[in-house]
Structure 1
Amino acid sequence: MSGGTGRLAVVGAGPAGLAAALAAAGAGAEVTVLDLGQRPGGQYLRQPAVPGVRPAPHSAHFADLLRQADTHPRITIHSGQQVWSAEPADGAAGGATLRLAGPAGPTTVAAPVVVLAPGGYDRVVPFPGWDLPGVVTAGAAQALAKGQDVLVGRRVLVAGTGPFLLVAATGLASAGAEVAGVVEAAPLRRWSRHPLAVAGAPGKLAEAARHFAALRRYRIPLWRGQAVTEVVEDAAGLRATVRRVDGGWRAGEVTRSVPVDAVCVGYGFTPSVDLAVALGCATRTDPADGSLVVTVDESGRSSVPGVLVAGEATGVGGADLAVAEGRLAGLAAAHRLGLLDDAGLARSTAPVVRRTARQRRFAAALHRVHRVPDGWTNWLRDETVLCRCEEVTVGRLRADVARYGLDDIRALKLVTRVGMGLCQGRVCGRAAACLLAVASGREQPLEDFAKRQIVMPVPLGAVAEEGPPR
């Protein structure tokens, strides 16, 4: 097919969403981008939310992506829009109906083709003291610094696993914080087991070299094979206990006790699959890191006609991979709208598909090197809070599993109310599933924490009122 016209809705204005919008608009589609942020860019390309704050520096490639999407005549970006419900369109035509809450009130968007690019959010691993004021995710610390020019503390400790720790640490240091150290639980020698994946991503090696050079420049120590296993209040601040951990994250001897104002923790990211699940898209467990991800083909087509998915929701892999996947999804969306024929689609996607395959191999290697094994569950005490919204402790979960023989997520939620608070299990869900698996001896799928008719909390008025369709 060729020469058609059509409208495309893109949910998410991060790297994947912007790349999808540009690819589809370049083929002639009229694109509406819906994003919760006050300005486009997502977490990676986060723009300042207050006047007078200098934008964070980005590579020329990503800065150009943001500029092109912001000025393209066939792309309209609606910021501050919370997509709280999604339903597949009636009939065989495909697409979806999206319900939004925004500055102008509730609105409904119906589109024959939709690209979901909702990104992901920080994965949390509970430990004694993780619920204290001053203990934040690395992503939250970065967002405050980049978007609000606010430091979470003058002296901070960054801990967890994964390359994002280096990004957060050097970003905080450049913003004026004293970074006491970076605590990396993974033994980085594991990278030697993945030479082909590393060789296929030379840009990642250069990026890592820049971050390690920045650590030296800011005199930030990197403590490998160690983890923060407890944080306590200490005078006017916090004190973090750092222990050596083995390959399974079983804690050993204390290596240091670090006084700080804030502890920034990050254990990778959790894909945001809520909207895709609400639309009925098939999901699977990512074998590399155990996350629940949306099942798509090489161009981002999901199991639901007219619904494509790109970026972290199909598997966490970073901004470069998200851009490539977004471009593929945008071109596939243009094809479905009749703006590209089969030959045109094949010509446009072939080089991107090859590049994406290399990037996915690197992402899989990264997940294996920085995996989060179950040994962290042994750091916990009975009084450690698991679900902060409902104030469910680890001891409560373990006792109820033993008392009632709980062995699945649904029963756990009904008995303990874990994951039924404001965050709907986004923060605690995966940790609860891991603890239940350890306590019951049965693997726990994550789908039950992702199935929600109302995807995100919104005022009752938004649910009661049906806004005019766009």
Structure 2
Amino acid sequence: MFRVTVDGAERWARSGQTAAAVLLAAGRASWRTTRGGRPRGVFCGIGVCHDCLVVVNGVPDVRACRRVVEAGDRIETQEGTPLPCFPPETGVDAPEGTVRDVPVVVVGAGPAGLAAALAAAGAGARVALVDEGQRPGGQFLRQAADGPERGAAVRAVQEHPCIEWLPRCTVWALEPGGASCTGTDGGWTVHVLQGPADAPGRTAHTLRTAALVLCTGAYDRALPFPGWDLPGVVTAGAAQALAKGQRTAIGRRVVVSGTGPFLLPVASSLLTVGARVLGVYEAGSPAAWLRTPVAALRDGHAKLPELLTYAAGLARHRVPYRARQAVVAAHGRERVEAVTVARLTADWRIVPGTERRVEDVDAVCVGYGFTPQLELALAAGCALRDNSWVAVDAWQRTSVPGVYAAGEPTGIGGAALAAAEGELAGLAAARRTVPAAAARVVARAPAARRRVVAGRRFARLLAAAHPVRDGWHTWLGEDTLVCRCEEVPYGVLRTAAGERGTGGVDGGAGGPDGGSLAADGMCTFKLTTRVGLGPCQGRICARNAAALSGPDALPDPQTADRRPIAQPVRLADLAAPGPVPPTPPYREDPS
């Protein structure tokens, strides 16, 4: 234990505790004020939304959910969008970084990344495993109890002589061209910043690799409703991360709402850390699984014991579970104090007369599936499938030579599928960089591929059983925020969409051209509404805004979401001089 200060008051903190957990333990639900004067606290819990920004040691715009505190840290409330001020005579000194060649670079240390690193290293490749966390495991394994198998995977990565573990690292950019470890064409340069999250002067590393494996995971999708921007309304993943990773309850009296089986472990985790769960509200219907009972038993039987464990825990604590119901509004002044729950029709419209108010609520956890983290895949130029997922072949190869993807970026299917895909990707990367490993790779691949096939069948069942239905837009009022960063209400969005002729969810026919937006029209639309122009860059609002404004309101993500900078970086880090690259020790392609 050590001491930090929160707005001048001393507080105890634990090693590994985030600033968000410290603030919540201090009884704070909010610690930032937007330009519009709205209070903000933690929301996504994994650094995507930027709601939880604080000032740490005089530096603003630090994501409290990502920043692990250290002894003596000064945490202060952030109001508006202040600019950091550094003494001009000192500037920000960054430690000298490194430039080196690594045959295989794996980005992300969740189930997919762990499996990829171990498979590649086991086949003889030298691997760098990069992750923002302090220890391997990603969101899933950091939040789960360390069982023997899971703990063994983490230890194996940390102890493997061919794996270099790079913790607290943000991959902020990719460049084509890098090490050509086997004389193959191409390669990638991976730009990394290592150090405390959002701190100035982090150490810069440049990794040049012939095989890049992207295991970047996903984050929760939240649907907007009146009051969803109140402090205390968080994503299901944020509540899970705080409960499992920080042993912190998001509130005392909590409501869980959304769709999908992830709601059950979230409720279970909340009970474990002492919260009272007032109800779990599933917007869909579990009966959807009964439409294909044979397939559900064949592909989902391994999940059944886990499901029964969660169900028994909820029953033991007398937690109500209600299908075809959802939280459709949150109420409060400075934080959530009550919610409105309603029954839903098959397409998720509110059944008139079924609304009821639940009082004395201090936290709401919402989750409507997941959105893949595609920033690096798009920066590399990888093609997408269904405009949503990275397209891969039977070896997890993307459309870009030397780039592989595994886990949630290729489709949401759970940890077992992610690990199987990661193993295949790691084997393929090893085969590219270590030709002598081909025989071992071919021998191991069939078993992993069978697990992938079974896992993808289950993923399709999951998607079919828990879709997000279009009727959720009826929950919104004209003043309901859609874009949290820029505080854009639904009424502004709908008006702008109508003026651009995009139609939208209310069924307009669109403009004279049938509702298409030209590229310049898209720019005008965004500048007019400012949707997607805030710190989260549309990660939270883009899917919802597109659904509300019509299919042509937002452009193709393969062009619109492709950015040279994939993660938040301070200008001082961009301006810092980099080290002189050494002569590559590997054979270059003579062409």
Question: Structures share a fold, TM > 0.5?
Answer: yes
- Kept in 1, the 8 Å contact 2:124–2:437? The answer is no
Match of 1:180 among 249, 262, 278: 278
CA-based RMSD of the aligned residues comes to 2.2
- Kept in 2, the 8 Å contact 1:437–1:444? The answer is no
Match of 1:161 among 240, 252, 259: 259
Q: For 1:30-429, list aligned pairs within 5 A.
A: 30-46=126-142, 56-89=144-177, 93-103=185-195, 104-195=202-293, 196-233=295-332, 237-252=336-351, 253-259=353-359, 260-285=361-386, 292-405=388-501, 407-408=516-517, 410-429=523-542
1:194 is displaced (CA, Å) by: 2.4
- Kept in 1, the 8 Å contact 2:103–2:210? The answer is yes
Render the CA deviation track for 1:55-82: whole Å, top value 9, x for unaligned: x514432222112112211111111111
1:235 is displaced (CA, Å) by: 9.5
After TM superposition, the structure 1 stretch with the greater mean CA deviation from structure 2, 251-260 or 157-166, is 251-260
- Kept in 1, the 8 Å contact 2:260–2:369? The answer is yes
- Kept in 2, the 8 Å contact 1:27–1:339? The answer is no
In the aligned structure 2, how far is the partner of 1:242 from the partner of 1:448?
A: 39
- SS at 2:550 equivalent: helix
1:447 is displaced (CA, Å) by: 3.6
1:100 is displaced (CA, Å) by: 1.7
Structure 2 length-normalised TM:
0.73
- SS at 2:535 equivalent: coil
Gap regions ≥5 residues in structure 1: 48-55, 286-290
In the aligned structure 1, how far is the partner of 2:559 from the partner of 2:527?
A: 12
In the aligned structure 1, how far is the partner of 2:291 from the partner of 2:558?
A: 32
1:449 is displaced (CA, Å) by: 5.0
State the match for 2:548 in structure 1.
Answer: 435
After TM superposition, the structure 1 stretch with the greater mean CA deviation from structure 2, 147-156 or 92-101, is 92-101
- The verdict on how the C-alpha distance between 1:283 and 1:147 changes in structure 2, with shifts beyond 3 A counting, is same
- Kept in 2, the 8 Å contact 1:308–1:333? The answer is yes
1:135 is displaced (CA, Å) by: 0.3
- The verdict on how the C-alpha distance between 1:230 and 1:106 changes in structure 2, with shifts beyond 3 A counting, is same
1:463 is displaced (CA, Å) by: 2.0
Render the CA deviation track for 1:181-212: whole Å, top value 9, x for unaligned: 10101111110122314312321122211111
Greater RCO, CA 8 A, separation 6+: 1
- Kept in 2, the 8 Å contact 1:8–1:115? The answer is yes
- Kept in 2, the 8 Å contact 1:269–1:316? The answer is yes
- SS at 1:266 equivalent: strand
1:118 is displaced (CA, Å) by: 0.4
State the match for 1:26 in structure 2.
Answer: 122
Render the CA deviation track for 1:361-388: whole Å, top value 9, x for unaligned: 1111101111001111111111000111
Which of the pair has more CA radius of gyration? 2
- SS at 1:251 equivalent: coil
- The verdict on how the C-alpha distance between 1:459 and 1:6 changes in structure 2, with shifts beyond 3 A counting, is closer
Counterpart AA for 1:13: A
- Kept in 2, the 8 Å contact 1:232–1:238? The answer is yes
Render the CA deviation track for 1:6-38: whole Å, top value 9, x for unaligned: 721110011100110000111111111111122
Q: Which has the higher helix share?
A: 1
- The verdict on how the C-alpha distance between 1:235 and 1:428 changes in structure 2, with shifts beyond 3 A counting, is closer
- Kept in 1, the 8 Å contact 2:324–2:344? The answer is yes
In the aligned structure 2, how far is the partner of 1:184 from the partner of 1:30?
A: 45
- SS at 2:140 equivalent: coil
In the aligned structure 1, how far is the partner of 2:105 from the partner of 2:121?
A: 11
Structure 1 length-normalised TM:
0.91
- The verdict on how the C-alpha distance between 1:410 and 1:347 changes in structure 2, with shifts beyond 3 A counting, is farther
1:403 is displaced (CA, Å) by: 2.4
Q: How many correspondences in the alignment? A: 451
In the aligned structure 2, how far is the partner of 1:411 from the partner of 1:374?
A: 26
- Kept in 2, the 8 Å contact 1:32–1:77? The answer is yes
- The verdict on how the C-alpha distance between 1:457 and 1:214 changes in structure 2, with shifts beyond 3 A counting, is same
- SS at 2:309 equivalent: helix
- Kept in 1, the 8 Å contact 2:289–2:296? The answer is no
In the aligned structure 2, how far is the partner of 1:197 from the partner of 1:238?
A: 39
- The verdict on how the C-alpha distance between 1:328 and 1:61 changes in structure 2, with shifts beyond 3 A counting, is same
In the aligned structure 2, how far is the partner of 1:394 from the partner of 1:236?
A: 21
In the aligned structure 2, how far is the partner of 1:379 from the partner of 1:229?
A: 6
1:415 is displaced (CA, Å) by: 2.5
After TM superposition, the structure 1 stretch with the greater mean CA deviation from structure 2, 91-100 or 245-254, is 91-100
- Kept in 2, the 8 Å contact 1:248–1:375? The answer is yes
1:168 is displaced (CA, Å) by: 0.4
- SS at 1:24 equivalent: helix
State the match for 1:51 in structure 2.
Answer: none
1:466 is displaced (CA, Å) by: 4.9
- SS at 2:332 equivalent: strand
In the aligned structure 1, how far is the partner of 2:557 from the partner of 2:334?
A: 40
- Kept in 2, the 8 Å contact 1:241–1:256? The answer is yes
Render the CA deviation track for 1:307-366: whole Å, top value 9, x for unaligned: 111100001111111111100100011111124554432221101111111111111110
Counterpart AA for 1:141: A
- SS at 1:209 equivalent: helix
State the match for 1:53 in structure 2.
Answer: none
Match of 1:467 among 568, 571, 578: 578
- Kept in 2, the 8 Å contact 1:241–1:254? The answer is no
- SS at 2:243 equivalent: helix
Gap regions ≥5 residues in structure 2: 1-100, 196-201, 503-515, 583-591
- SS at 2:426 equivalent: helix
After TM superposition, the structure 1 stretch with the greater mean CA deviation from structure 2, 26-35 or 5-14, is 5-14
In the aligned structure 1, how far is the partner of 2:373 from the partner of 2:127?
A: 22
